[in-house]
Amino acid sequence: MDRPFRLRALVIATAALFPLTACSLTGGDESTSDASGGMAAPQEVVLVTHDSFFLPKKLMKAFERDSGYDLVVRASGDAGTLTNKLVLSQGNPQGDVAFGVDNTFASRALDNDVFAPYSAQLPAGAESYVLPGDDGADGGRLTPVDNGNVCVNVDTTWFAAEGMAPPESLEDLADPAYEDLFVLPGAASSSTGLAFLLATIADYGDDWPAYWTRLMDNGAKLTAGWSDAYEVDFTQGGGQGDRPIVLSYDSSPAFTIDGGTSTTAALLDTCFRQVEYAGVLTGAANPDGAEAVVDWLLSPEVQAALPTSMYVFPVDGATELPADWAKYAVQPDEPLSLDPADIAANRDDWLTTWSDVTSR
């Protein structure tokens, strides 16, 4: 997932398995005795994740202290890149546990047996984010950790100054009243853009190419990634942007507070849900450590840190949100969605059609 206010270069990998970068805390105090009676180093557990992964170091240190494992984090691109690398290394993984495969790519990973069964104890509220069908007799394979919604955002101050009503729906974005006002990342180069494409498919069904034709004819601007759209072209992005409508997240208005109120708003009828998962990798060298990492990601401490660390909502319904989130990061009651199996079966064809429509 693209992350607000953190630069993301998002390219969906389809070719080779690229090198993974890694970092280790290697600061745990735990040690164990080896066969000779000496003190052996703590056992490593390797977490493969996307480039947007970030948690406070004190939480990772606490995991090492409490578990006895040294946590090694290997960043591996965005959600699509991560998934492709996991598929290419299936059975001989580059780590023990993975976090960051989302519902738009999950079926690809599951169909290729990337993950081993592990049934974590889910906190209250997390059950609703479990993938359909991922509940076999030997347990599920992907554990929901966080969620968020890709939504169209508007600069409410710009529309107030212009005396215009902002758009409210996907259909409004193709209205000539909003010509040349919308900027969004492309579906082929951004997971955020892909989520918006899926939102339009969920809403318009087989007529979605005609909608995109009208959207592009109305002057919608495509960028390579979220940061280009939000931080450069959006009027509230901090630069000199001239477009007051942007594709972002339901959490974004919590980061545009000025004078005690938010200067932006998410259009809740345009949102597509994204859920991120963690799972034990098939063939993991340290499956026990991998299970410990999955459990840790569901812990109250990590769940509470997700909004300010990775700009996503926790799946634990008991987690107290930051004050600005509780007030301005409003989630849709019924976000648009598609069956992950349908996404897996049609993603490539949809992207090909989308590229044809948007390049005319």
Output the domain CATH number for residue 339.
3.40.190.10
Q: Is the pTM of this model over 0.85?
A: no
Q: Quick one: pLDDT band at residue 30, thresholds 50, 70, 90?
A: very low
Tokens matching residue 348: 């490539």
With residue 357 as reference, give the H or E element that holds it: helix 340-358
Residue 283 lies in a domain: yes
Domain that holds residue 134: 21-147+275-328
Tokens matching residue 302: 């990590």
Across 54-70, average pLDDT? 97
Residue 6 lies in a domain: no
Domain co-membership, 124 together with 101: yes
State pLDDT tens for residues 186-222.
998 888 899 999 999 999 999 999 999 999 999 999 9
State pLDDT tens for residues 295-320.
999 999 999 999 999 999 999 999 99
Domain co-membership, 260 together with 283: no
Across 5-13, average pLDDT? 34
Domain co-membership, 45 together with 61: yes
Across 282-302, average pLDDT? 98
pLDDT at 189: 83
Domain co-membership, 56 together with 41: yes
Domain co-membership, 204 together with 311: no
Residue 106 lies in a domain: yes
In the chain, the number of structural domains is 2
Domain co-membership, 120 together with 173: no
Domain co-membership, 226 together with 254: yes
Domain co-membership, 305 together with 175: no
pLDDT at 137: 56
Q: Of the ranges 22-31, 188-197, 285-294, 323-332, which is most confident?
A: 285-294
Count the Cβ atoms, other than its own, within 10 Å of residue 226: 28
pLDDT at 3: 52
3-state secondary structure 82-150: HHHHHHHCCCCCCCCEEEEEECCCHHHHHHCCCECCCCCCCCCCHHHHCCCCCCCCCCCCCEEEEEEEE
For residues 101-122, one letter each, b for 16 or more C-beta atoms within 10 angstroms of the residue's C-beta and e for the rest, the string is bbbbbbbbbbeeebbbebebeb
Q: How far apart are CA 50 and CA 70, in angstroms?
A: 19
Residue 11 lies in a domain: no
Domain co-membership, 178 together with 221: yes
Residue 9 lies in a domain: no
Residue 15 lies in a domain: no
Domain co-membership, 340 together with 239: yes
Residue 103 lies in a domain: yes
Domain co-membership, 216 together with 262: yes
Domain co-membership, 165 together with 265: yes
Residue 80 lies in a domain: yes
Q: How far apart are CA 285 and CA 45, in angstroms?
A: 8
Query: Does the CA dihedral 311-188-235-150 come out positive or negative?
Result: negative
- Under 8 Å between Cβ of 45 and 70: yes
